[in-house]
Chain A
C-alpha cells in the first residue's frame, strides 16, 4: 500500500487548482484527482462541434482575483485575458440598444439616448459601488469568524473591517445595511428610470440564483459579485482560448509549484477512520491514503455522497439536506455560420464589434421577474433572461475561419421540472432560447450549424454539480459568509478531522474568483503545519 499523501484534492475545478497551488507553495505535496479527462471543472474549453471550440459552461471569468492571478503567474503560464468593448450590449424591443463600457463616461454618454437623469446618475453609482466594494472585498478574502469563540486574529480582521466600515461614512454605512436585504429591482429603481438599464443592473442580482429581481436579498448577490468588478456594467473579461485556457494555466501553475494532477480519476468515496479522513477510494477500486482530503465538490455531494453519513451525525446531515442547491441556469452553445446581425445594430450592414462583449437579453425588470415566475412552478421560462457572448469575434482561434461560436446562459431553467424530465424538454428549452434571440437577431436561426443544450440535469450528471447549481448552492442571505455552507461550518473545516471543503459551496462562493480555494488553502496549511 502506497505511503499516505499529504493532501488529496477531490476535483480539479478552478478552486481545487488554486488550493493545490497555495498548498504546494506551503510546502505540501497535493494530489488533485479530477473525474473527467480534462481539469477545470466548470471552466473548460471543449470542441462541441468539429472545429468549434467553446467554453462549455462558464464563459466569463469571475474575474479571477488579481492577487491570485499574480501569485499563480497565470500570464507566464499562458493566460491572455481579452477585454472587448463595449462590455455589454443590451438591445431593447424598440430597436434601440444600451451599450456599457469599462469607461464610465463612455457608458454615461450611451445612456444619454435613454435618459439625461440616468446618464448623470450612472457615474455616481459606479463611484458609490467602488467605495462599498472596497469594504466587501475585505470580507471576501477573510475566513468567516468562528461564531462561538472568534480568535484574536479574526477579531482584529473584523475590527479592521469595522474600522473600514466606519471610514465609509454614515451614508455609505447605512447604504450597505439597507441594500443587503433589498430586492435588486428596488435598488435599480432607486438609481435609474430607464427600464432597460434597471433590468441590466437587476440581472446581476439574480444570475445563477433561484430569485427574481423582486426577491428580497437579490441586491446582496449583486454586491457579492461586485468586489470582483465594481463596474455596474459587470465584468467583461474572457481568456483567449476560452475558459479552459484559464484553468489550464492554473493547472500549470499548480504543477510547477509541486502539485500533481491526475485526470480520469473518479473519487467514489472519502474514507474515514475513527472520525478522521484516511484517504479516498476511486471508482476503479484503487485506494489512495492521505493525511488530509480537500473537497472541491459541492457540499451536498461531499457530505451526502462521498462521505458515509454515519461519520457526520444526523443533525449535520439533516441540515445539509436542507442546504438549498437547486440550479436554475441552462447553458446553450451554438456553432454559427457567421455573426448574427442584430436589428438594433442596423441589421446586416451593422458591425459585429458591438457584440464582442456580453449580450444581455431582458428588457425590463418585470420581464426578468416573469422569467423567474415560471421556474417557481417547475417550468422553464418561455421568454428567458439571456446572457450571451460570441467569443470568436475577439478570439478567431475558437472557430473555423469566418465562423463563430455563441455561448448563452439561459435563466430560468429549474432543476426540478413539474412534468416530464429534462431529456424530454431539452429541445424545447433550446427552441425557446433561439426564439428569444431571434426577436432581436431575426437571421440567427438560419445560421445555426449546431446547437448544444446543457440543462441543470446535465450539469449534475456530467459535471457533478448537485442540483445543477453553478455556484454549488444558492447564494441567498441564509447561505452566505458564516452560514456557507452551514452556520458554524464556514471555515473550510468539517465535522470530520482532516476533511476540508474548498469549492464555491464555501465562502465567498461567488463565481470564478478562486477565492474559496485560496481561503481554504490558507486554513488547511495552518492546520497541517501544526
Chain B
C-alpha cells in the first residue's frame, strides 16, 4: 500500500513552509500540519485587540535568504518589505544616538559623540560587509562532517580553508576575532563611544543566554549583520501587514506548488516502523502515512515528545537533552492611543519610524544579563522597540498605534516563583524602563500583551521559549547544530528529517534551514517516489 503523501512537514512555521514549497516544486506530494489556527509559527500577525494587528513574536525581517524570495517568487505572492529606518537610542543624560540607514547621516551623528568613531564607523561597515561575504556561502551549505574522510566533506572543509587563506590579512584577523570574541571586546577594538558599542553589541546577544561580554557573541553580531534587502547588507525591514504576511506569502507559494496545508492539526506522534519513519498520528487520533517526515519543530519535540522510546539509542537521546534552549527573551506588545514622546527628542518624527533601542551603556547591557544568570528577569532590561503602524498604517485604527517591544533578559528558568505569577511584574518592568525615556507611555496604553518565555513555549511550541529553537552559541553551530554528527538535516531514524531553526544555519526568519533540508531530502529520495 503506497503512502498518503510523499512528505509530511510537521509545523507550518516559515521554515516548514519553505521546506514544503521546495519539495512540492520538485514534484513531491506534500502535506503541512500546523498545530495552531494560523500559519507562520513564530512569524505570525494576529489581531490581539480589535483593530490592532501585531507581529506577535518575530517582528523584523531581513535575514530571509534572497534566493528564497526569488525562487519562490514571494513578491508575486504578496510579500512587501518596508525598510525600517535606523536605530534610535535614547540616553539617560538626555542625549541620544540616532543611526540612520543613510551612512553619511549616521557618521555625522556619530561624530557628535566621537570624531574617531565616525571614521572607524566607515571602516567597520566595510569590514563587516567583507565578513558577511565570507560567511554567506557557509550559511548556504549543508555542514560537512569533520570526522569522516568522505571526500565530499573534506572538499567542503578545504573550500572553507581555502577561502580563509585567500582573505587579506586584515580580514583574516577580523574573521577569527568575530568567531571567538565577545561583542563588547570586539567593538572595543573599533570604537570608544559607550552608547554606540552598547547598541551595536545588542545584536550579539539576541536569542542567546549570553551577555555582551561573553565570548562568542561577536559571531551572533555578524549573524544579524547578514540581513539583506535587495542585496544591501545590514538593512532591516518590516513586512506590510505584519510578519504574518511573509508566512502567508510563503504559504501561498507552497499551495500554488501543490502543497496541502492543514491548520489546527496538532501532531501527537511520529510513526516509526523498524527504524523507518512512515507517518504521523494527530492529536485527534487520525493517522496519516508518508514516505518522508520533515519536522520543522525543535529537536526536543521531535525526538523526545513525538517519537516513542526505543526507536532512538540512549546516547542520541542524551545529546538531544544536552542541546541548550535557554529562552532568554520576552515580548511586550502594546496597543497605543498615541505616539510615545521621548524626552531627548520630543514630538513625533522619523526617529520613531526605525528601531528604538534601550541600550544606554555596555554595563547596562551586562547588568541586565547578570540578573538573568541568577534566574531573575532584568530589573532594567534591554528593549528593542518598533512602531510598525508608522510605516504600515494598515495594522492599527486611524491615529492609533501598535508598539512591539522585544525584551531581554527573561530567563525561562526562574530562581523563585513561576512566570504565571511574574508575567505582569515583568510587563510593568518593561513599561517602567521605557517610561524613563518616554514618560507619556503609561497614559497612552490601551492594551498590552506580555509574552514570557513560558508563553512562547506554550503558544508557539518553542521549547524553553528560545526564539531560535536553540541557543546560537559556538558549540551549537554549523556541524554541531543541533547534535554533533546530525547537522545535516537527517536523523538516526530513516526518512525522518529536521528542517527548522534548530538546524544549520539557525534562527531568524532566514528560511535557509527549510530550503537546505528540502534539497537534502530530494537528494536522498532521488529515484524512488
Contact = CB atoms under 8 A, between A and B. Distances in A.
Interface of A: 147-148, 166, 170, 173-174, 177-182, 186, 190, 211, 214-217, 315, 319, 322, 324, 366, 369, 373, 376-377, 476-478, 483, 486-488
Contact of A217 (B180, B324, B373, B485): B180
A477 B480 contact: no
Interface stretch (B171-179, B262-270, B278-286): B171-179
Interface of B: 146-147, 149, 165, 169-170, 172-173, 176-177, 179-181, 185, 188-189, 210, 213-216, 322, 324, 363, 366, 370, 373-374, 473-475, 479-480, 484-485
Nearest to B208: A216
A163 to B, nearest CB: 11
Contacts of A173: 146-147
A174 B475 contact: no
A376 B215 CA distance: 14
Contacts of A486: 173
A483 B176 contact: yes
Given A173-B147, A214-B373, 10 more contacts: A174-B485, A178-B484, A180-B474, A181-B475, A182-B474, A216-B216, A216-B473, A376-B213, A376-B363, A477-B179
Contact of A177 (B149, B214, B324, B484): B484
Nearest first, the 9 closest Cβ-Cβ pairs linking A and B are A181-B474, A174-B484, A477-B180, A478-B180, A216-B216, A217-B215, A173-B147, A322-B189, A216-B215
B181 A476 contact: yes
Contacts of B189: 322
Q: Which of A217, A315, A324 has the most CB of B within 10 A?
A: A217
B149 A166 contact: yes
B475 A182 contact: yes
Contact of B165 (A148, A366, A483, A487): A148
The interface residues of chain A, by DSSP majority, are classed as helix
17 contacts: A148-B165, A166-B147, A170-B485, A181-B180, A181-B215, A181-B474, A216-B210, A216-B474, A216-B475, A217-B474, A366-B373, A373-B370, A377-B366, A477-B181, A478-B180, A478-B185, A487-B173
Contacts of A483: 176, 180
Contacts of B216: 181, 216-217
B147 A147 contact: no
B177 A478 contact: yes
Contacts of B181: 476-478
Nearest to B479: A177
Contacts of A315: 170
Contacts of B370: 373
Contacts of B165: 147-148
Nearest to B175: A487
A216 B214 contact: yes
Contacts of A170: 147, 485
B176 A478 contact: yes
B215 A476 contact: yes
B230 to A, nearest CB: 34
Contacts of A376: 213, 363, 366
Contacts of A177: 146, 475, 479-480, 484
Nearest to B480: A178
Nearest to A324: B185
Contacts of B322: 190
Nearest to B170: A315
A216 B366 CA distance: 15
A236 to B, nearest CB: 29
A174 B480 contact: yes
A215 B480 contact: no
B429 to A, nearest CB: 20
Contacts of B180: 181, 217, 476-478, 483
B529 to A, nearest CB: 33
B214 A369 contact: no
A127 B374 CA distance: 33
A215 B147 contact: no
A217 B480 CA distance: 16
